[in-house]
Amino acid sequence: MLFPFADFWWVYVAFTAFVVALLALDLGVFHRRPHVVTFRESLAWSIVWVALALTFNYAFYLYATSIVGPVEGRQAALEFLTGYVVEKSLAVDNVFVFVLIFSYFGVPPIYQHRVLFYGVLGALIFRAAFIALGAVLMQYHVVVLLFGVFLLLTGIKLLWSPEQKIQPELNPLIRVFRRIVPVTHDLHGPQFIVKVGGAWHATPLLVALLFMEMSDIIFAADSVPAIFALTNEPLIVYMSNIFAVLGLRAMYFLLADAIRRFDLLKYALALILIFVGLKMTWLNDLFGGKFPIEWSLGIIATLLAGAIVASVLTGTRLRDGGQEEQTRRQRRAS
């Protein structure tokens, strides 16, 4: 391990403080007032978050090179980049679920950024806990194999799974919460908790946030082992995962309306999970303990780009075919 926690604990602390400062700046300055996030704004913020991640990756490359040498430094930077791309691609599935959650609970666009902010804040905490646990467990080869099999099965299941449906009323934790805490029928602006008739009530906004947090815990069970399949450095897993999650809100507003156009993207995500599962169970051993990170990055990027291009081409053909059929019907009717 190039960056053992005992020697580089201060890097974890400094990075965490940096992330907290970014979140405080985001909510306290740039998004202090609730408003509807436009496509242009979400695009600008998505570019900012990606540029920030790439800039940090370059700074990390320079730092790692000064500590462990140019070869290992380049390897560490590539592992960060690949982990970031994997987490970003898997986060598309989060966007699907977020759309369903906001639709189910009737959260208007003006309050969605507030829910997403606290959802991401909770996700950062849970991801840190998952990564800390994974860093301990992944030292045992049998655990690596179990995680690999889990990712393989998850990817195979995703290939054949139907469209996702959301049913919070069937979730046992949500049902228990509603029995313990009274919930208002209507929203009360951006408030999560309000006082009604002298008693505190949760609003549907808080229930939506809780359901979002639980869904992210489930997603973390896939994404964290997937990045551990690419690197055995917990520091790289932590930083790449956190940077990907930081840009999740901007990614949601950017893709919320367009995500259905990429209907083949689900299959690319499934194949990515299958690929990283194969790395953990077979390919790493086949290549002397470490599958080349350059190949991993190329395979993942090819799968994503291929699915997006295929989705666009398929959607274009369907729209053109539909327009031609409509034209023929109009001619027959006339």
Does a structural domain hold residue 289? yes
Does a structural domain hold residue 168? no
Q: What is the mean pLDDT of residues 201-205?
A: 88
Q: What is the mean pLDDT of residues 146-151?
A: 82
157: Cβ contacts below 8 Å, ≥ 6 apart: none
Does a structural domain hold residue 175? no
Tell me phi and psi for residue 230, to 5 degrees: -95, -25
Radius of gyration of the chain (CA): 22
Q: How confident is the model at residue 52 (pLDDT cuts 50, 70, 90)?
A: very high
Q: 188-215: string of b/e by CB count within 10 Å (b at 16+)? A: eeebbebeeeeeebbbbbbbbbbbbbeb
CB 72 within 8 A of CB 61: no
How many whole angstroms separate alpha carbon 25 and alpha carbon 95? 24
* Helix spans in 181-289 (H): 204-228, 234-246, 248-255, 265-278, 284-286
Does a structural domain hold residue 208? no
Q: How confident is the model at residue 137 (pLDDT cuts 50, 70, 90)?
A: confident
What confidence score (pLDDT) does residue 167 get?
63
Percent of the chain with pLDDT over 90: 17
| Half-sphere exposure in the Cβ direction for 311 (13 Å, CA) | 17
How many whole angstroms separate alpha carbon 317 and alpha carbon 320? 5
Q: How confident is the model at residue 93 (pLDDT cuts 50, 70, 90)?
A: low
Q: Is the pLDDT of residue 156 over 70?
A: yes
What confidence score (pLDDT) does residue 333 get?
55
Identify which of 91, 119, 125 has the alpha carbon closest to the alpha carbon of residue 19. 125
Does a structural domain hold residue 194? no
Strand, helix or coil at 208? helix
Instruction: Say how many domains are in the chain.
Output: 1
Does a structural domain hold residue 201? no
- The pLDDT tens digits of the residues spanning 209-243 come to 888 888 778 777 777 888 888 888 999 999 999 99
- The pLDDT tens digits of the residues spanning 305-333 come to 888 888 878 865 555 555 555 555 555 55
What confidence score (pLDDT) does residue 260 get?
56
Q: Is the pLDDT of residue 190 over 80?
A: yes
Q: What is the mean pLDDT of residues 197-213?
A: 86
Which domain covers residue 139, as residue numbers? 5-161+224-324
Tell me phi and psi for residue 289, to 5 degrees: 105, -15
pTM: 0.76
Indicate the DSSP class of residue 257: T
How many whole angstroms separate alpha carbon 79 and alpha carbon 200? 48
Q: Is the pLDDT of residue 25 over 60?
A: yes
Q: What is the mean pLDDT of residues 16-21?
A: 90
What confidence score (pLDDT) does residue 96 get?
67
Tell me the CA distances in angstroms from 75 to 194, 295, 297, one per residue in order. Answer: 51, 12, 12
Mean of pLDDT over the chain: 81
Per DSSP, the residues of 155-191 read HHHHHH-------GGG-HHHHHHHHHS-B-SS--TT-
What confidence score (pLDDT) does residue 28 get?
67
67: Cβ contacts below 8 Å, ≥ 6 apart: 2, 73
What confidence score (pLDDT) does residue 140 get?
77
Does a structural domain hold residue 334? no
What confidence score (pLDDT) does residue 124 get?
85
Does a structural domain hold residue 261? yes
What confidence score (pLDDT) does residue 69 get?
92
Tell me phi and psi for residue 66, to 5 degrees: -70, -20
Strand, helix or coil at 247? coil
298: Cβ contacts below 8 Å, ≥ 6 apart: none
Q: What is the mean pLDDT of residues 44-66?
A: 93
Strand, helix or coil at 10? helix
